[in-house]
Amino acid sequence: MDNASLTQKARQLRRDILKMLYLCQSGHPGGSLSSLEILMALYYKVAKTDSRKPRWEDRDRIVLSKGHACPALYAVLADRGFFPREDLWRLRQIDSHLQGHPDMNKTPGIDASTGSLGQGISIAVGMALAAKTRKAGYRVFCVIGDGEAQEGLVWEAAMAAAHYKLDNLVVLMDHNGLQIDGPNDQVMGLGDIAAKFAAFGLETRRADGHDIDSIAGALGSGHAGKPLFVQCETVKGKGVSFMEDNPGWHGKPMNDKEYAAAIAQLGGTVDA
Amino acid sequence: MPEPKSLRVAYGEALVELGATNGKMVVLDADLAHATMTSMFEAKYPERFFNFGLAEANMMCAAAGFAHSGFVPFASTFALFGTGRAYEQIRNSISYVNANVKFGLSHSGLSVGEDGGSHQSIEDIALMRVLPGMTILVPCDPIETRKAVFAAAAIDGPVYIRVARPIVENITTESTPFVPGEACVLREGGDICIAATGLMVKEALKAAELLAALGIKAAVVNFHTIKPFDSKRVLDMAKGCGAIVTVEEHSVIGGLGSAVAEVLAGNSSAKFERIGIQDRFGKSGKPADLFAEYGLTAANICSRCEALLGRGVG
C-alpha cells in the first residue's frame, strides 16, 4: 500500500475508532488515536501476520500492552480481515467478542490479553524468550504507553529482555506525554525515557509516531544481541482538534455534537 | 517405603523426571532455585531453565508468554511471593486467560519456621481459590508431590501446587489414588470425619489413632485438591459421620475449612469445626513449636474432635 493510500486508510480507521467509541459511549479515544500509526506500521508494513491463519506458529507476535487503546487495534485487525468490520459496532456489548480490553481467547488476531498495565511487555518478554528457546525466527512487537512506564513491572521486563539478549523483541512506546490525571511530568515524571531504556541495556531509537515510514524505518535490524526500544512521538487524540493534547479525552464518551464534529474533521459523515 | 524427604526436593526431582519426556516443559524461578529445588532441573536442562532474578511479577507474566507460545512453564518461588506479590499477574495474565502455566510454590505455611511471619504464607490458598478455572493441589508427602507435578502437566490450564519445606515421611503409597478434584479416603470411621490437607494429613491420621484409643472411630480424608473442590465427598462425609473437622496449615478463612463450610451451609446440619490458623499471622520458631502453639497437632485435633462430639473435656 502506497503512502497516499495509507494516509487515506488512517483517516478511515480513525473514523472507525470514533464510531465504535461513540456507539458504546465508553472507552478510550485519546490513546487509541495516538497509537494508530504505530499499529499500522506493524500490521501494514513490518510484521508477518496472516488473517487467514491468526494462530500461525511462525507469525510475528504483536502485544498491545496499553490495552485500553484496543479500538485502534480492532479497527486495524478488521481492516486486515481478521474479523468482519461490522463487529466493530458492537464494541463492549454483552454479545461481542470485542472486549473493553484485548482478549486473546475471544478475538482473532489478538496474541495476548492485556489491559492491566505493565503486564503486556512482560508477556512479550516471555514470548521472545520462548521464540529463542524454540530457535524460531519470528519477532515480538510490544506497544506500551508512556504512563505505563511508571509501572515497576515494565522495568523488570526491560531488565530481563536485556539480560536474555532478546534481539527478537521490539518495544514501541506511544509517547504522547499524557495520562489520565494529566501530563506525565506532573503526575510522575519519567525523565529521559529512552535514556532509561538504554541504561537497562536496550538499543534505543526514535520515530515520528504518526509517520508510518518513520516508524517502520526504525524497526530495521542492527540491534543484534539487544532488544530494541523505539520512542514514537505522538499526539494524544491525534486527528481531532478538540481531543489533541487534551488529557480530558483519555476515556470520555462523545456526545452527538462532538462525534459529528470529529467525523467531519476526518473527512466523513456520521452515517458512513 | 521411599525415604522421607522435603516436598521441595520431591518437587525438584519430579520436574527433572517430567522434563525427560516433556520437551515443551520449561522451568522458571526468581532467585530461589536452590530453595524451591528447581536447581535440580537447571542442572539437568540448563537450556530450558530461566532465572528471572528477584522479579516475581515479571516471572509470572513471562510464564504466560511461554504458555502462549506452546510451552508448559513451571514457575517457582516462595508461596507468599508467588501468590501474593504476583497475585494480579496470576489473576490477569494467567488465570483470566486460562494460560497453561503451573506454579509450584514452596515454603508454604507455618512450617517455614524460623524465617517468621513475613515469609509464612497462610493465605495463598484463599487467594488462588477465588480465581475461576484455577486448580489447587496440596500434596501431603513426597509421593503425592510427584503425582501432583505429573497431574498438573496433564491439566490444560493454570495449576497451583502448594509445596511445603519440611522433611516428611510418606503416608501414601505409589498405588494410593491421586485424581485431581477427588478427595481420597485414607481411613474409614463412622463417628467423625477429619478432612485434612497438606502436612496436616499426617497429623489427622495420628489424631485418628488417638481417638481410636478413646473408642471414637474417625475417618480421615485427604483433600489434596482444594479446587476443583470435591463437594460430593463433603456431603457424603456429613451424612455418614454427622460431624466434620477440617485441618489445614493455612488460615481458617478462605482455605479448606471455608470450602467445606460453603458446602455444608444450607445442606447439612452436621457438627463442624475448623482447625487452622485462627486469623493471625505466623512468627519465628521451630516448625514443631509453631504447630503446637497454633494447634496444628494430632493432640489438639483429637481434643477438638472429642469436644465437637460432646465428649472429654474439650
- What span, in angstroms and rounded, lies between the C-alpha atoms of B75 and B61? 10
Q: The domain spanning residue A99 has which CATH number?
A: 3.40.50.970
HEC string of chain B equals CCCCEEHHHHHHHHHHHHHHHCCCEEEEECCCHHHHCCHHHHHHCHHHEEECCCCHHHHHHHHHHHHHCCCEEEEECEHHHHHHHCHHHHHHHHHCCCCCCEEEEECECHHHHHHCCCCCECCHHHHHHCCCCCEEECCCCHHHHHHHHHHHHHCCCCEEEECCCCEECCCCCCCCCCCCCCCEEEECCCCEEEEECCCHHHHHHHHHHHHHHCCCCEEEEECCEEECCCHHHHHHHHHHHCEEEEEEEEECCCCHHHHHHHHHCCCCCCEEEEEEECCCCCCCCCHHHHHHHCCCCHHHHHHHHHHHCCCCCC
Closest-approach residue (CA) in chain A for B48: A133
Same domain, B12 and B136: yes
Query: Is A85 inside a domain boundary?
Result: yes
Same domain, B124 and B195: no
Same domain, B41 and B153: yes
pLDDT > 80? residue B312: no
Residues A120, A160: contact at Cβ < 8 Å? no
Structural domain count, chain A: 1
Return the pLDDT at B245. 98
- What span, in angstroms and rounded, lies between the C-alpha atoms of B183 and B178? 8
Catalytic residue among B42, B56, B144, B249: B56
Return the pLDDT at B307. 97
Where does A169-239 have alpha helices with state H?
Answer: 184-188, 193-199, 212-218
* Domain range for B30: 5-168
Return the pLDDT at B3. 85
Query: Is B175 inside a domain boundary?
Result: no
| Chain B residues near residue A133 by CB distance under 8 angstroms | 26, 47-48, 71
Which of B68, B90, B98 is the mutation pick for testing A, counting most A CBs within 10 A? B68
Query: Is B174 inside a domain boundary?
Result: no
Which B residues 31-70 touch A at CB under 8 Å?
47-48, 50, 52-53, 55, 57-58, 61-70
| Chain A residues near residue B74 by CB distance under 8 angstroms | none
Query: Is A134 inside a domain boundary?
Result: yes
Name the percent of chain B lying above pLDDT 90: 98
Mean pLDDT of B38-52: 98
Return the pLDDT at B314. 42
Q: Choose among A103, A125, A131: nearest Cβ to B62.
A: A125
pLDDT > 90? residue A3: no
Band (A271; pLDDT cuts 50, 70, 90): confident
- When the pLDDT of each residue in chain A is averaged and rounded to a whole number, the result is 97
Same domain, B18 and B148: yes
Same domain, B202 and B159: no
Same domain, B87 and B21: yes
* C-alpha distances in Å from residue B204, one per residue of A104, B197, B264, B275, B301: 44, 9, 20, 11, 7
Return the pLDDT at A79. 98
Mean pLDDT of B3-25: 96
- What span, in angstroms and rounded, lies between the C-alpha atoms of B28 and B89? 15
* Domain range for A219: 3-265
Query: Is B244 inside a domain boundary?
Result: yes
Query: Is A214 inside a domain boundary?
Result: yes
| A221 and chain B in contact, CB less than 8 A | no
Q: Does B188 qualify as catalytic in the annotation?
A: no
Mean pLDDT of B1-10: 90
Query: Is A271 inside a domain boundary?
Result: no
Mean pLDDT of A170-184: 97
> How crowded is residue A261: how many other Cβ atoms within 10 Å of its Cβ?
15
DSSP code for A60: P
Q: The domain spanning residue B160 has which CATH number?
A: 3.40.50.970
Q: Which of B141, B168, B195 is the last residue of a domain?
A: B168
Q: Choose among B26, B55, B93: nearest Cβ to A160.
A: B55
Closest-approach residue (CA) in chain A for B49: A133
Query: Is A48 inside a domain boundary?
Result: yes
Where does A144-192 have alpha helices with state H?
Answer: 152-163, 184-188
- When the pLDDT of each residue in chain B is averaged and rounded to a whole number, the result is 97
Q: Choose among B48, B64, B93: nearest Cβ to A133.
A: B48
pLDDT > 70? residue B103: yes
CB contact under 8 A, B93 and A116: yes
pLDDT > 50? residue B253: yes
Band (B133; pLDDT cuts 50, 70, 90): very high
Q: Which helix (H) or strand (E) holds A182?
A: strand A182-183
Return the pLDDT at B311. 85
Q: Which of B168, B203, B234 is the last residue of a domain?
A: B168
Query: Is A272 inside a domain boundary?
Result: no
Query: Is B176 inside a domain boundary?
Result: no
Same domain, B304 and B258: yes
Residue B253's identity, in one-letter code, is I
HEC string of A226-269 equals CCEEEEEECCCCCCCCCCCCCHHHCCCCCCHHHHHHHHHHCCCC
CB contact under 8 A, A104 and B68: yes
Q: Which of B139, B168, B197 is the last residue of a domain?
A: B168
Distance of CA A176 to the CA centre of its chain: 12
CB contact under 8 A, B61 and A111: no
CB contact under 8 A, A156 and B63: no
pLDDT > 70? residue B244: yes
Mean pLDDT of B225-244: 97
Which of A68, A123, A142 is the mutation pick for testing B, counting most B CBs within 10 A? A123
| Chain A residues near residue B73 by CB distance under 8 angstroms | 126
Same domain, B158 and B266: no
Same domain, B154 and B224: no
- What span, in angstroms and rounded, lies between the C-alpha atoms of A18 and A25? 10
Query: First vs last Cα of chain A: how many Å apart?
Result: 23
Q: What is the residue whose three cell numbers read 475461576? A: B132
Same domain, B14 and B160: yes
Return the pLDDT at A53. 97
Query: For B198-211, what is each residue's pLDDT tens digit?
Result: 999 999 999 999 99
pLDDT > 80? residue A27: yes
- What span, in angstroms and rounded, lies between the C-alpha atoms of A25 and A96? 15
Same domain, B120 and B192: no
Return the pLDDT at B202. 98
Structural domain count, chain B: 2
Q: The domain spanning residue B228 has which CATH number?
A: 3.40.50.920
Q: Which helix (H) or strand (E) holds A125?
A: helix A119-134
- What span, in angstroms and rounded, lies between the C-alpha atoms of B168 and B109? 15
Residues A122, B62: contact at Cβ < 8 Å? yes
Residues B68, B118: contact at Cβ < 8 Å? no
Query: Is B125 inside a domain boundary?
Result: yes
Query: For A186-230, what is each residue's pLDDT tens digit?
Result: 999 999 999 999 999 999 999 999 999 999 999 998 999 999 999
Same domain, B90 and B35: yes
Closest-approach residue (CA) in chain B for A114: B93
CA angle, residues A164, A35, A160, in degrees to nearest 5: 10
Q: Choose among A112, A126, A131: nearest Cβ to B63.
A: A126
CB contact under 8 A, B92 and A105: no
Query: For A226-252, what is each residue's pLDDT tens digit?
Result: 999 999 999 999 999 999 999 999 999
pLDDT > 80? residue A13: yes
Query: For B265-288, what is each residue's pLDDT tens digit?
Result: 999 999 999 999 999 999 999 999
Query: Is B177 inside a domain boundary?
Result: no
ipTM of this complex:
0.96
Mean pLDDT of A44-55: 97
Query: Is B173 inside a domain boundary?
Result: no
Distance of CA A28 to the CA centre of its chain: 12
Query: Is B12 inside a domain boundary?
Result: yes
